[in-house]
């Protein structure tokens, strides 16, 4: 896959190297030539110095043959314009945009981009860790709108039904239950045992309801 990474900061250089390690053909674009020094010594992709808003620079980077483009600079405006150009003018099939300032995320969403907001997602994860939550995130889709969580069943829930734990968390879907090393698909009437590990997907509303249920039962 031919991929263009616009922005060679900490995120862009790490992304470019990861893509290179996976065997993709990677071209990195940045307006400051010294930025390419962040790339690891064994990186064998291409680098193009210049303003990404320039048609000449984008075409020198091979945008007309690109399968994907990631706009990951620290300018939301620049990311939006480059991504819009890639998608509408050059018909790049896979375009991903970094959201640097969470307050500008609605602007990017209005364009219908695939967005990654590391600031918003990072703040959410730190909040969870500081709270010492009994429920841990193992996968996050999008920008955390839907996540997959892991929960170890405590003694307080031994002998209770899964449906009772979920309560009114309508947006919380059980995915798997692991007991003594074997996994199964749980149902609402599944009896829980201490040490069971539950995996479930849910929204922010669903996880808030589940945590309230846990607090109420274990208080």
Tell me if residue 65 falls in helix, strand or coil.
Answer: helix
The tens digit of pLDDT for each residue in 157-203 reads 889 999 888 876 667 889 999 998 889 999 989 999 988 889 989 88
- Number of residues assigned to the chain: 219
The tens digit of pLDDT for each residue in 54-94 reads 999 999 999 999 999 999 999 999 999 999 999 999 999 99
Residue 187: CA atoms inside 13 Å, Cβ hemisphere, count? 2
Tell me if residue 9 falls in helix, strand or coil.
Answer: coil
Quick check: do 2-118 and 129-218 share a fold? no
Say what the pTM is: 0.68
Average pLDDT score over residue span 119-139: 71
| Domain segments of the chain as ranges | 2-118, 129-218
Read off φ and ψ for residue 10, nearest 5 degrees. -65, -45
Residue 72: CA atoms inside 13 Å, Cβ hemisphere, count? 23
- Please tell me the chain's helix, strand, coil percentages from 3-state DSSP, rounded to the nearest 5: 40, 30, 35
- According to the model, what pLDDT value does residue 29 have? 98
CATH architecture assigned to 2-118: 3-Layer(aba) Sandwich (3.40)
- DSSP state, 145? T
CATH 3.30.70.1450, domain 129-218, yes or no: yes
């Amino acid at each position: 896959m031919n991929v263009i990474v616009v922005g060679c900061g900490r995120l862009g250089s790490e992304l470019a190297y990861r893509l290179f390690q996976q065997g993709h053909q990677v071209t990195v674009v940045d307006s400051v030539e010294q930025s390419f020094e962040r790339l690891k010594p064994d990186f064998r992709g291409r680098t193009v110095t210049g303003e990404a808003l320039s048609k000449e620079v984008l075409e020198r980077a091979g945008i007309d043959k690109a399968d994907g483009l990631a706009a990951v600079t620290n300018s939301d405006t620049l990311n939006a314009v480059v991504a819009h150009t890639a998608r509408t003018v050059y018909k790049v099939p896979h375009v991903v945009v970094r959201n640097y300032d969470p307050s500008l995320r609605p602007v990017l969403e209005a364009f219908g981009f695939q967005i990654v907001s590391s600031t918003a997602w990072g703040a959410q994860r730190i909040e969870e860790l500081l709270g010492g939550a009994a429920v841990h995130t193992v996968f996050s889709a999008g920008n955390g709108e839907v996540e997959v969580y892991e929960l170890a069943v405590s003694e307080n829930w031994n002998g209770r039904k899964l449906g009772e734990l979920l309560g009114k968390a309508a947006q919380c879907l059980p995915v798997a239950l692991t007991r003594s090393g074997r996994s199964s698909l749980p149902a609402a009437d599944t009896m829980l045992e201490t040490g069971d590990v539950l995996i479930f997907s849910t929204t922010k509303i669903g996880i808030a309801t589940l945590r309230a249920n846990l607090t109420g039962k274990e208080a």
